[in-house]
Chains A and B, each alone.
Chain A
């Protein structure tokens, strides 16, 4: 497998263009997180700090809904940590894109989020560094600024579900998955991973199905390169 990752100006520009539509969706979700967090009694500053440090929608929505329902500190922490455990395998998949001092790698790695990671994927296990960091930065600014508007003026924006934005995310991930399925082994692993997630959704807390699905990667241990 070649270890070089080829990038061109055109691809970078195309990727950022693609990230703009996603960033608009992410902005609305950031705003609705801010609104819900404020309504859940988290105040103004804490939701902003959470968006700036955690930068992961599903875990943050889990925190605000559990705290808002009086579900307790431990439940909120457990749910959010479970939901974000997937970032360990995700960050391992792009580890080779990060160079230089540890502190720089630590800071840059915070731009990893589902959407930037998915947009940066070039198939066959390869990822583009500039796409990942460019899209990640745009999405980070969208998420944090959306949160700020949400905590301060969220009532005026309405529910992003009325705009159908929650249906846009699975379609986005599907669009990014399809080009990955050309190799038979990747297609098989994707089918097994999706099946694991589907079976576990009713049985386990949110977050667990995605982490458990990553076990399908062990198909890569088989030597025959199909």
Chain B
């Protein structure tokens, strides 16, 4: 097997297993109360970590670039209660513009 196919196979199987962890092992079983409270915080915590890594994340470094203009424009749109597609488009436009002028 070539190196490329080995990577595709291992990464594919690992990812399928990660995504199946909760649905296959737990399903709609009721979780103990303390565990449920921990799981309930997964959404805000992981979303927050995704915002940070997608905005300033690089390979072993913080990268401050045009993405910050996108996050800023998105924050303004969110504060103005714009619908989600408008937030996404405003962020993309601001990022593209900032990249043009820098």
Binding site for B on A (CB under 8 A): 1, 3, 17-18, 20-22, 25, 41-43, 46, 49-50, 53-56, 59, 63, 67, 72-73, 76-77, 80-81, 84-99, 102, 105-106, 108-110, 112, 114, 118, 121, 123-125, 127, 161-178, 180-181, 185-187, 189-194, 196-198, 201-206, 209-210, 213-214, 216-221
Contact = CB atoms under 8 A, between A and B. Distances in A.
Given A167-B67, A198-B56, A95 B26 contact: yes
B95 A164 contact: yes
Contacts of A67: 3-4, 7
A167 B94 contact: yes
Interface residues of B, number: 82
A97 B84 CA distance: 24
Given A18-B84, A53-B8, A84-B14, 14 more contacts: A20-B85, A80-B14, A85-B18, A91-B18, A91-B19, A97-B23, A102-B24, A105-B27, A114-B50, A125-B43, A168-B88, A170-B74, A176-B47, A213-B45
Contacts of B11: 50, 54, 59, 63, 76-77, 80-81, 84
B38 interface: yes
30 contacts: A46-B5, A59-B15, A63-B11, A84-B14, A87-B15, A88-B22, A92-B26, A92-B42, A94-B23, A96-B27, A105-B20, A105-B27, A109-B20, A114-B50, A164-B66, A164-B70, A167-B94, A168-B92, A170-B70, A171-B90, A172-B88, A173-B47, A174-B78, A185-B41, A186-B41, A198-B56, A198-B62, A201-B52, A205-B60, A206-B57
A166 B95 contact: yes
B92 to A, nearest CB: 4
Given A18-B85, A91-B21, A171 B73 contact: yes
List the 7 closest A-B pairs by CB distance, nearest first: A167-B70, A171-B74, A167-B95, A125-B40, A164-B96, A164-B95, A95-B22
Interface in B32-50: 34, 36-50
Given A53-B15, A81-B14, A84-B18, A196 B44 contact: no
A53 B16 contact: yes
Contacts of A172: 74, 84, 87-88, 91
B19 A171 contact: no
B15 A164 contact: no
Contacts of B69: 167
A118 B46 CA distance: 9
Interface in B53-82: 53-62, 66-71, 73-75, 77-78
B93 A164 contact: yes
A218 B26 CA distance: 19
Most buried by B among A42, A171, A191: A171
B13 to A, nearest CB: 8
Given A167-B95, A172-B84, A213 B4 contact: no
A170 B71 contact: yes
A40 to B, nearest CB: 9
